[in-house]
Amino acid sequence: MKIVGITACPTGIAHTYMAQEALEKKAKEMGHECHIETQGSIGVENELTKKQIKEADVVILAVEVVIEGMDRFEDKLVFKESIAKCISHPGEVILDALSKVQK
């Protein structure tokens, strides 16, 4: 499966990046393709491409502040989760998100 997502925590200093790493790492282990954009203290990094968004089966949003570019996901299946859970239990988050995808 193909997953994209955005992480953004209230201060954007540390957990935005931890959540990105946790999701990307776990998804890879599980055999999925995953690209996570971060919107934190250093601005937008690893910005999702139109192609990545178009091809994605699901969008994981772990955002606890207002983010830029929500309109990019208008026609997509969006799954929301807390930053804390993405860091502590990334595998569960990925399974939950993928369970929403119509087989």
Partner 1 sequence: MVIEDNLIKVDLKAESKEEIIHELATLAHNNGRVLDLQEYIRAVMAREEEFSTALGYLVAMPHGQSDAVTSPFVVFARTSHEVIWDENPVRLIFMIGVPMKNRDKTHMKIIAGLSKKLLDDEFRAKLLTATKEEAYDMLANIDLGGMEI
Residues that bind partner 1 in the complex, under the rule CB under 8 A: 9-11, 13-18, 20-22, 25, 38, 40-42, 45-46, 64, 83-84, 87-88
Catalytic residue among 3, 4, 9, 53: 9
Q: Which is nearer to partner 1, 13 or 77 (CB)?
A: 13
Q: Which is nearer to partner 1, 39 or 79 (CB)?
A: 39
CA distance 57 to 11: 29
Q: Which is nearer to partner 1, 22 or 60 (CB)?
A: 22
Residue 12 φ/ψ region, left for φ over 0, alpha for ψ in the -120 to 50 degree band, beta for the rest? left
What is the nearest approach in angstroms of partner 1 to the Cβ of residue 56? Answer: 20
How far does CA 36 lie from the centroid of its chain? 5
Q: Which of 98, 37, 42 has its CA nearest to residue 70?
A: 37
Has 9 been annotated as catalytic? yes
Burial of 85 by CB count in 10 Å (0-12 exposed, 13-18 middle, 19+ buried)?
Answer: middle
What is the nearest approach in angstroms of partner 1 to the Cβ of residue 25? Answer: 6
The residues assigned a catalytic role are 9
